[in-house]
Amino acid sequence: MTQNYRITLLPGDGIGPEIMSVAVDVLKIVGQRFDISFEFQTALIGGAAIDATGEPLPAATLYTCRNSDAVLLAAIGGYKWDSLPSHLRPEAGLLGLRAGLELFANLRPAKILPQLIDASTLKREVIEGVDIMVVRELTGGIYFGKPKGIFAAETGEKRGVNTMVYSESEIDRIGRVAFETARKRGGKLCSVDKANVLEVSQLWRKGMTKLASQYPDIELSHLYVDNAAMQLVRAPKQFDTIVTGNLFGDILSDAAAMLTGSIGMLPSASLGASVPGVFEPVHGSAPDIAGQDKANPLAQILSAAMMLRYALNQAEAADLIENGVLQVLQQGYRTGDIMSEGMNLLGCQAMGNELIQILEAK
């Protein structure tokens, strides 16, 4: 029976429309293979929305996103809008989308592709086979806790204050996403905190440990964040899925991503409680190469694969795309950002065409 999904596309700015168009072509091919029918609806966000409507996140966009099964986003931003006040800048559209869809879980994979192993700054034997997923809490913790601000102390000196807060229910909901994610991967979950110093981390650790009894198939471990940072660069292969709070996750997900060494290859997912998830590449709108057919579309395509796996439960379709990406690299095709000697340099569209040929032949 045909499965129907309504997908909102947010191409945004810069290279966004170029990489989105390639990802949509790939989804259509995969849809035909697995009897999946996609109803695509395109909406405005970021600079493109500012130009058309005066706001970075028009109400119509949020409405369309809420009424879809998943959202595929490219990237927002560019020089043209850099001088606008912050609430009218393209980035405000992204923050508004996260808040409007209550996206509390951010999933950032860092997988070393054998074909791109030399792009990493770490030694081959350290990173070969690395396949990590960082699950970061996105709407709580020290970035949002109150009190926050810069206050005058009694001494007349100013004091800057932020507060790291997590409630049991916030810990529980991010924990569930992380255990479920580990279940779809290698079955190992490492919770990262600072429970030797912070009370909020002690509650975090208690919450994760309590949840573990409901997931007997998942092996749970705990690390302090300083040790986790060391282990990530010392022996990253020990990790499968990592779960952590907003601040620690911000830092560790970037460190994990850079193990791979190539920004044009990294997808991400942000998930909410009942609303559709948003799937997007980690990179920005790359205004320096926009409109030149030079962008690497693979992070966008891998984001579409994450959408199939995590929002639509279409693991086989996701596998097909991910294996196709490996194969296109294996055949020596590269965009400029991942180019190396002896490889075959392609533009954005041509890279998409090579991948589609591979998918059609499978």
Among 110, 130, 295, 325, binds ligand NAD (CB under 6 A): 295
CA 11, CA 349: separation in Å to the nearest integer? 15
Mark the segment that binds ligand NAD (CB under 6 A) among 25-33, 69-77, 178-186, 204-212.
69-77
Residue placing its CB nearer to ligand NAD in the complex, 165 or 255: 255
Q: How many chain residues are in contact with ligand NAD, going by CB under 6 A?
A: 22
Identity (one letter) of the amino acid at 312?
A: L
Among 31, 58, 78, 324, binds ligand NAD (CB under 6 A): 78
CA 230, CA 247: separation in Å to the nearest integer? 17
For residues 222 to 261, the per-residue mask of contacts with ligand NAD, x marking binding by CB under 6 A and - elsewhere, is ----------------------------------------
Residue in this structure with the two tokens 């070969």, named with its chain if needed: 128
- Smallest distance from the beta carbon of 191 to ligand NAD, in angstroms? 26
Among residue numbers 318 through 357, which ones bind ligand NAD (CB under 6 A)? 335, 337
What own/partner pairs with CB < 8 Å and gap ≥ 24 does 28-33 have?
29/356, 29/359, 29/360, 30/308, 30/317, 30/320, 30/321, 30/359, 31/317, 33/317, 33/320, 33/359, 33/362
Q: Which helix (H) or strand (E) holds 232?
A: helix 225-234
- Smallest distance from the beta carbon of 93 to ligand NAD, in angstroms? 9
Number of neighbouring beta carbons within 10 Å of residue 165: 14
Counted residue by residue, the chain has a size of: 362
Active site residues: 143, 194, 226, 250, 254
Q: Is 49 in the site for ligand NAD (CB under 6 A)?
A: no
Residue placing its CB nearer to ligand NAD in the complex, 65 or 286: 286
CA 241, CA 182: separation in Å to the nearest integer? 6
Q: Is 182 in the site for ligand NAD (CB under 6 A)?
A: no
Identity (one letter) of the amino acid at 195?
A: A
CA 99, CA 77: separation in Å to the nearest integer? 18
Among 27, 75, 218, 311, binds ligand NAD (CB under 6 A): 75
Which residues of the shown chain bind ligand NAD in the complex (CB under 6 A)?
Answer: 15, 75-78, 91, 94, 263-264, 280, 283-289, 295-296, 299, 335, 337
> What residue numbers does the annotated binding site for NAD(+) cover?
78-91, 284-296
> What residue numbers does the annotated binding site cover?
78-91, 98, 108, 136, 226, 250, 254, 284-296
